[in-house]
Amino acid sequence: MDVTHLGTVEGSGRVVIHGDSQRIAVATRGSFLSAGGVAVYSANDLADFKRFPGGGHLAFSRTGEFLALADGCLGNAVIGNWRIYGSVCVVETGAEIPFRGKGNNSPGPQGSDWAEFSPDGSLMALSGAGASPTVYVVDVPSVLKGFPRSDKASTGFSILFELATKGLWSNMALEWSPSGEFLAQVADIREGNAFQVGSNSAQLLLWRLSESSPASASMSHFGTVSLDEAIRTSEPSPSGNVAFAPDSALLAIAGSKAVPVRLIDVKEARIAYSMPYDGMLMTALAFTPGGKYLVSGDGDGSLCAWELRASDSGVSLDPVDSARLPGSVLDFSISSQGSAIVATKKDKSHVDISRVSVPSDAAQRTAVAAPEAVAATQDAAAPDWMPTHVAPAVGLAVWAVPDGRQPAVGQMPGTLELVVEERAGVWALVRDAKGWRGWVDSRLLVVRR
């Protein structure tokens, strides 16, 4: 795995990378009563950035158009006594849309401590802070409704679902599957005296979003997996680092010297594979676009590529490549075309940004024959037009073949209505109303409602 250092930026808190847009959000650490700030950089020009106030947990939308800031800062969130509290930032314009909702009268921390956008950007899962943190699923368009607006926070957005579980002490991870059907929640479950060291355990809770219309949609809990890890309040937990495979069938959960790496069969809600890990602590996970490899980052700066292989038990992981970086890995992201960026901690106030070569699984993505050309082609007799998806507002790169090693042949305009005709891994062959066709990253498409 070849590593190219791109530069160093200021930052001492959380980092999140969006592989396709090459955007990097870096939080500056605040005090007990101040959440600090967030700077969003482009990997192509680390000197050019936009800055947003606030902080806490960071999450990009699938297109990189929006950045969610889940604000668990006590000084901010206690004002007004709100259980969920944060902002949605429009990265391109630098606008920030604050929101808060659901009164919290319980003692302890207020505000939100986790946020994740669904793949189509229409939903956001928010974890409320506090002694019994419920996960709220919010309608994103209702948060953005009426924008631009005054600086006053929105309280009129729609909370569609409240996902509550008995015995929950804190949330360690929320992750939507690429299909948008599943939401994975890793939680610290209270057992007896929650303040006793080692008295809590990590569990994976799996939720399914129904495929019915938004008006009658529902989310149901369909499985819980014990992760066989005792949570110790003074130590970081590897179970807070998870990644779905592109086909949404597998979920990888990180490991450490004390905790194995685990692969979860999502639909059956069971551990499909578990292996010991001799490293310090996995701090980042990402699958390659075709799902053939899992790449992990470690607290000691190690990067490792693992190949998923068939085994007697169904699936296994085998190391195939590695690299070592100075500083612990903070985040790692692979774009839909296989370009990877990693952020590592340089010191208390700086973060190094590097580009990494990862094993290519492009051969898997070329299994479906491509059209002869992607140039504007008119069908003499196009079938009845029933669009299923739309392009994201920021537009979409288009390829002649489903192979990210080839250069893109054009850029699709934002909000264009489309029909998905074929799929090959994470790629989709789409057609517009005039018969124009091309291959795009299917994970960036927005489902038409």
pLDDT value at residue 411: 75
Q: Are 374 and 437 in contact (CB under 8 A)?
A: yes
pLDDT in tens, 101-130: 877 655 555 677 889 999 888 899 998 766
399 by Cβ neighbours in 10 Å (0-12 / 13-18 / 19+) ranks as buried
The whole-angstrom distance between residue 216's C-alpha and the CA centroid of its chain comes to: 26
Cβ neighbors of 427 (< 8 A, separation 6 or more) are 365, 368, 399, 402, 439, 440, 441, 442
pTM higher than the cut 0.85: no
| Location of each CATH 2.30.30 domain in the chain | 365-447
Q: Are 41 and 23 in contact (CB under 8 A)?
A: yes
CATH fold of 365-447 reads SH3 type barrels. (2.30.30)
Homologous superfamily (CATH) of 3-360 is YVTN repeat-like/Quinoprotein amine dehydrogenase (2.130.10.10)
pLDDT value at residue 251: 96
Tokens of 180: 């948008």
pLDDT value at residue 174: 94
CA distance 6 to 71: 29
196 by Cβ neighbours in 10 Å (0-12 / 13-18 / 19+) ranks as exposed
| Location of each CATH 2.130.10.10 domain in the chain | 3-360
Cβ neighbors of 215 (< 8 A, separation 6 or more) are none
Handedness of CA 216, 447, 204, 29 (dihedral sign): negative
Question: Which helix or strand (DSSP H or E) is residue 349 part of?
Answer: none
CA distance 5 to 354: 4
pLDDT in tens, 371-419: 333 433 334 334 567 888 888 766 777 888 887 656 677 778 878 899 9
Low-confidence ranges of the chain (pLDDT < 70): 29-35, 72-81, 104-110, 129-132, 146-151, 190-199, 211-216, 232-234, 311-313, 362-384, 393-394, 404-407, 449
CA distance 97 to 89: 6
pLDDT value at residue 351: 95
